[in-house]
Structure 1
């Protein structure tokens, strides 16, 4: 016997436009991220960052990050068993857009002085630092990210990986391109310094 639906669930299950609209929005995010990947490539070329491995950008999407759809752009990206370098652009349905720098292994060792200098210079205003043991979590709950505090001394040497991220709410959709461009440029300049 089928489980009964609530009145709200019945309204949703009979509304074809709901999923069609959701699919259209996800497609728009993918197209937006495709355009961002081209913008990101140009930033890297202009900033002359030969140390950044220019592997082709990768856009992936899924239906179940904590039960909700998401889209990810990883560029630049280098994922090894120990050595990870990625700038991740993230869309999470019903939540936010975010940009994250993720480093581990040799990349963390190489770029840590640049990150620490940028923190000292207060270049990471309104950014967060990863505090979880799981590098693949992207939510901004207190068990995963903490606001980055320039006056605090971090022992990043002890971190298995380093994640620094910033988010913008989805109701600022029209500001997202500027948000990503400015913060991507900031990350590349810090890493190239």
Structure 2
């Protein structure tokens, strides 16, 4: 009953969530110029991107495995069969993470590029999804494995590729630089 009677803790939580939203907005401004080269690569492969594919979408929620979160999707192409998205996520009590999600034509187009850059991605701390569930985001041992140089080739047995790296919450003050660096690593691996 003490928590219900004390508004301070919920106000603190609301303040932290607002800071996370502001961080995502600032990241989106850094991300946008990096996407010009990626657009050229995708369109050179014959895929016509919608006009809003590189516009940021920031969303927040209260219940990813019972905890609050904030998500920035940029770029974001979510089709029935084709996905090209980079998701940056703040997950309360856990970490920040940057995740590349490819499916369909995008997986076919970029799997080779990712294999060629697997060393750089591994050095940056990326993990690869190995559970077969493309909508699980948590970096747990039953869901992701540390990327090895041959991991991407093995993951093509799934109808998607997901690569993810995290930044611990105790590095909040450095998180903009860290998350932007992870984002850039992904964009460059896609053949910027």
Q: TM-score range by the shorter chain?
A: 0.7 to 0.9
Q: Deviations over 1:90-146 (max 9, x none)?
A: 000010000000001000000001000011x44322211001222111111111111
The equivalent residue for 1:5 is none
Question: For 2:121, which of 123, 145, 150 is the aligned residue?
Answer: 123
Q: Is the 8 A contact 2:128 2:152 kept in 1?
A: no
Q: What TM-score comes out, normalization by structure 1 length?
A: 0.87
**Structure number, greater radius of gyration:** 1
Instruction: Supply the distance in 1 between the matched residues of 2:151 and 2:59 (Cα, whole angstroms).
Output: 35
The equivalent residue for 1:18 is 9
Instruction: Supply the distance in 2 between the matched residues of 1:151 and 1:162 (Cα, whole angstroms).
Output: 13
Are 1:38 and 2:37 matched, yes or no?
A: no
Q: Is the 8 A contact 2:114 2:152 kept in 1?
A: no
Instruction: Supply the distance in 2 between the matched residues of 1:188 and 1:173 (Cα, whole angstroms).
Output: 23
Instruction: Supply the distance in 2 between the matched residues of 1:84 and 1:151 (Cα, whole angstroms).
Output: 22
Structure 1: gaps of 5 or more residues: 1-9
Are 1:29 and 2:20 matched, yes or no?
A: yes
Instruction: Supply the distance in 1 between the matched residues of 2:140 and 2:146 (Cα, whole angstroms).
Output: 10
Residues paired across the two proteins, number: 182
Q: Which runs of 4+ in 1 moved over 6 A?
A: none
Instruction: State the Cα distance separating 1:151 from its structure 2 match.
Output: 5.5
- Shifted more, 128-137 versus 96-105: the winner is 128-137
SS at structure 2 position matched to 1:27: helix
The equivalent residue for 1:176 is 175
The equivalent residue for 1:50 is 40
Instruction: Supply the distance in 2 between the matched residues of 1:112 and 1:149 (Cα, whole angstroms).
Output: 14
Root mean square deviation of aligned Cα: 1.7
The equivalent residue for 2:164 is 165
